[in-house]
Amino acid sequence: KGDAAKASSRYEDTYLPYPDAKVAAELCHDGPVAYLILGSAWVTDNWIAQHVSPNITAVHGSLLGALFGRAILWACFDSDARAIVEHHLYNKIMSAYRGGCPSSSGDQNEQQQNNSFNPIHKLFLMIYA
């Protein structure tokens, strides 16, 4: 796979997950995180890409739209992080969320309708050497 004596041969491989993860861990303020849709939530990546981050989706596609949209949706439901979401964006997202939330009975659906249920889980990641 090339000349092993060449110093740059190590960096010519297009798949180097560890350095990428290490850099991401250093760049993230509180460390790297993943935003996951809870299994009990009704939202989907498609819904998030369409209603939470449509402009990101239009430019970068639905995969990145959903990825960034999950973080935005989590922030809308988190009492501390809500302050960083622009007011008009928050209102637009929450209106779409309330409009799409199933209206069947049950404690969990009632929590989802009353905004006391965050459909996104923020998972802190650990990078091991």
Mean pLDDT of the chain: 84
Count of alpha carbons within 13 Å of 100, Cβ hemisphere only? 17
CA distance 38 to 69: 14
How confident is the model at residue 105, as a pLDDT? 47
Contact 25, 36 (CB under 8 A): no
Greater model confidence, 82 or 13: 82
How confident is the model at residue 12, as a pLDDT? 64
User: Can you give the pTM of this predicted structure?
Assistant: 0.76
**Of the candidate ranges 7-11, 45-49, 79-83, the one whose mean pLDDT is the lowest:** 7-11
How confident is the model at residue 116, as a pLDDT? 74
Greater model confidence, 18 or 110: 18
Residues 54-107 have pLDDT tens digits of: 999 999 999 999 999 999 999 999 999 999 999 999 999 999 999 988 764 455
3-state SS of the chain is: CCCCCCHHHHHCCCCCHHHHHHHHHHHCCCCCEEEEECCCCCCCHHHHHHHCCHHHHHHHCHHHHHHHHHHHHHHHHCCCHHHHCCHHHHHHHHHHHHHHCCCCCCHHHHHHHCCCCCCEEEEECCCCC
How confident is the model at residue 129, as a pLDDT? 62
